[in-house]
Amino acid sequence: MNVDVTELYTGAVDRRLSNPLFNDHKLKLGTFCTNLSGGCTISTADGVFDLNWPNTAALARLADDMEFEALVPVGRWKGFGGETNFNGNGFESYTWAAGLSGLTRNSGVFSTSHISTVHPVMAAKQGMTIDHISGGRFTLNVVCGWFGPEFEMFGAPMMEHDRRYDYAAEWLTVIKRLWTEEEEFDFDGEFFQLKNLICRPQPIQRPHPVVMSAGASDRGKHFAAEHADVAFTGHYGMQGDELKAMVADYRKMAFDEYGRDIKIWTNAYIYQGETEKDAQALWDHCVIENGDQTAVNNLTQTLGIEGRETPARKLVHMKNHFIAGWGGYPIIGTKEQVVEGLQKIVDAGFDGTLLSWPRYIEDMAEFKEVTYPLVQQAGLR
């Protein structure tokens, strides 16, 4: 971070200087779902992430030591059942980010915020506070939500898909104005009618903290292109030129329709072994032999995948990738093959990727010692 400490707390620092998402690494890296039990692996295998504060802090320190750009939590309020009750234990993402901000020095800290669960005035104040604790490393990850039982916990019906994004646009507009406007203002919108709004102090980052948004639908992609600085998207089973074209089309749409140059991230999971056979055996052990089929069935049914006209073989394939690492881009093999997999993500045009490992702490520690030096030697970092 190339900013004088005294400047940080004036709240007037260009975010390109304080937020690591703007550094010059060819491939930016992050961790995913370290605030929830199981991490990204829906399995009963030994070593799958056991959630407690020392463990989530250990992962943050590993990421910080490698200067990962992003620590991204998942917003989750209840689990998916099965033997593991996958993601059933979880730390709330604003307070989680605040805690990790005090333990790290390099990594960007994210809060993943379901728009319907927190008022925009509260979200703005919480985000501003985390930005100060972290010295300008905060990013707000805006999600509209899709898990119906969680909406029921808050006593609110889940809005129709596109209406959620209408609400999100207004919610985020209020927050950005609170983060940037000097004088009190009123807001009279369709969803919010608010008086005498003010946020003091304002965030450190200028013009405001970075915003990320994930959306697989056409409406979700347009929302991210118009309102976010970083768009998060899956790979949807694509490889090579097909994946490259998808990323390029997304970037082109953002520029052509909204005049915006956005960063595009994805997620990947790593199964590494001394040999490719060893890596595949680890994948088989976690996914085929010990995958929590009840939990993954509940997850895919909630997502609506089960209800589509998906061939049985393809459905099994999709479920296996959910078990392995939340449907991320698969990287399975030796340390050299892991580097090759990360290079393919760069070649597809992504700016960064969130990573997960099946035995999160053990495998990430191995990545730091064994693989990360090769990632650097390859010029990816």
Name the pLDDT band for 297 (thresholds 50, 70, 90).
very high
Contact 41, 286 (CB under 8 A): yes
Tens digits of residue pLDDT in 298-336: 998 888 776 666 778 888 999 999 999 999 999 999 999
> How do the residues of the chain divide into helix, strand and coil, expressed in percent and rounded to 5?
45, 15, 35
Query: Given this model, what pLDDT does residue 307 score?
Result: 60
**Average pLDDT score over the chain:** 94
Could you give the domains of the chain?
A: 5-377 (3.20.20.30)
pLDDT over 80 (residue 252): yes
Query: Given this model, what pLDDT does residue 230 score?
Result: 98
Indicate the burial class of 102 (C-beta count within 10 angstroms; 0-12, 13-18, 19 or more): exposed
Q: What residues contact 33, with CB distance under 8 A and at least 6 apart? A: 39, 40, 72, 73, 74, 87, 326, 356
pLDDT over 50 (residue 23): yes
Tens digits of residue pLDDT in 347-359: 999 999 999 999 9
What average pLDDT does the segment 253-281 reach? Answer: 98
CA distance 378 to 374: 6
What average pLDDT does the segment 247-267 reach? Answer: 97
Give 158 or 12, the one with higher predicted confidence: 158
Name the pLDDT band for 10 (thresholds 50, 70, 90).
low
pLDDT cut 90: percent of the chain above it: 86
| Of the candidates 124, 122, 62, 129, the residue with the CA atom closest to the CA atom of residue 101 | 129
What are the backbone dihedrals phi and psi of residue 294, each rounded to the nearest 5 degrees, phi first?
-65, -45
Q: Which of 149-163, 214-228, 280-294 has the highest mean pLDDT?
A: 280-294
